[in-house]
Structure 1
């Protein structure tokens, strides 16, 4: 019996699923085919491994190499190895390749992020000043990501451990409910994090840890040709400060009268 066979039988039992229900409803394969994986008579192909990994939210590495029955199931996500290892691809000059998730492919990112074929087909660029990490560029969408707008790309550096997140920093969050979103971290607790858009029109909201698929820390941006940074009107700010000064002066006069 293999570790993988023991693990999937254990996890299926924890969810209260029969072999038939798990095989037909979740994996979309026959019960007979699945039963061979649990008995160790056959090895699961990578597409089935990916489905099992996503369903139980446990990395393929752990499923294949660690007897997870020895750990409390609620602590599995805290194990440092419970993550998908992303290979760092470099060009002929040794520069990190940045994978570009195009607008058309972004809708399928949730189902393709762990598919080697999907990632392999993404276009790549290199930026010499981005080193020592795994980088990926995501398309900006909507008006909740200033200064990014449609046509812009947000380059993120892969965050391996959620404990590395720092309040005040911006991240690309890939979640089961929202897909790809660019947000600023406000705070966190044992069960969730609170994030907000840089556009003050949108209210902060919580993201439960179990919904988070990937996190990429903001590293750089790619803007369209017609991009124009927002110009701050200093004269208007000075006018506001003068008005405030006059108001304070008036208040002081009334207090001492």
Structure 2
């Protein structure tokens, strides 16, 4: 198998240490000798048998492609947890959190727009190039040249003063651990036929804390393995002018409510 097996031994050692197993303990679990396991880990066995590789794959619940081709020690903690949660990208036929994109004739990335009618299908089609290719595409001026961007419409008032119905331009986040606390993001969740627009903070317990700008909505946590994609807020477009914050805004709102109750200024 040549150079294709370059990461197998180091990955086995990495995963064994991660589970705090000795070579003796793991070799007993896999029904192989400790000396064979040691030779594989240090790279002395250049071409391990298919049977032994399948044992590693079955025990660590990762595909052979992952164990052979991906240097797990170079991945962030969130990605490792994602794999350990059963989201092995090779088993699922995808790439390691690789984004499906479309490009123009000059090989420049499009900015796809996810319309409201496509929100429910995005969860199932976010890795499908054909689905992404079916989305409306735009060229948005003044975006950074590096990075991938997508446009998501907002629904609901949980992110006021960003008006409902705004189109949020967001940048794809590959390394979730790079997010600063309370970063505004579009978050694509598993088993939820929608996406959410929240302030995102990565907790020490490995969960994401999702908070609304509108404080009438309670914050909540989600497991890392429930998150499919994260898009960091860049800008938004809206036909509405956000209300001025502060006491003046509250006072004007109360006056409007009083006028509504009294029928002042209403047209008949």
Q: Could you state the TM-score of these two structures normalised by the residue count of structure 1?
A: 0.58
Q: Which residue of 2 aligns with 1:148?
A: 162
2:194 equivalent to 1:157: no
TM-superposed deviation, 1:109: 0.8
Deviations 1:2-39 (A, max 9, x none): x9xxxxxxxxxxxxxxxxxxxxxxxxxxxxxxxxxxx9
Q: Which residue of 2 aligns with 1:9?
A: none
Alignment partner of 1:117: what SS? helix
TM-superposed deviation, 1:194: 1.1
Give the aligned length: 179
Q: Is the 8 A contact 1:192 1:206 kept in 2?
A: yes
Q: Which residue of 2 aligns with 1:206?
A: 221
Name the CA shift for 1:234/1:200 in 2 (closer, same or farther; >3 Å).
Answer: closer
1: CA distance, partners of 2:188 / 2:67: 26
Aligned pair partner of 2:232 in 209, 217, 239: 217
Q: Which residue of 2 aligns with 1:170?
A: 184
Q: Which residue of 1 aligns with 2:132?
A: 119
2:233 equivalent to 1:231: no
Show structure 2 runs of 5+ residues with no match: 5-49, 51-60, 84-88, 90-94, 251-268
Q: Could you state the TM-score of these two structures normalised by the residue count of structure 2?
A: 0.56
Q: Is the 8 A contact 1:174 1:215 kept in 2?
A: yes
Q: Is the 8 A contact 2:182 2:201 kept in 1?
A: yes
Aligned pair partner of 1:188 in 195, 203, 209: 203
Show structure 1 runs of 5+ residues with no match: 4-38, 40-55, 238-257
Name the CA shift for 1:183/1:235 in 2 (closer, same or farther; >3 Å).
Answer: closer
2: CA distance, partners of 1:152 / 1:213: 22
Name the CA shift for 1:89/1:214 in 2 (closer, same or farther; >3 Å).
Answer: same
Q: Is the 8 A contact 2:100 2:126 kept in 1?
A: no
Name the CA shift for 1:221/1:67 in 2 (closer, same or farther; >3 Å).
Answer: same
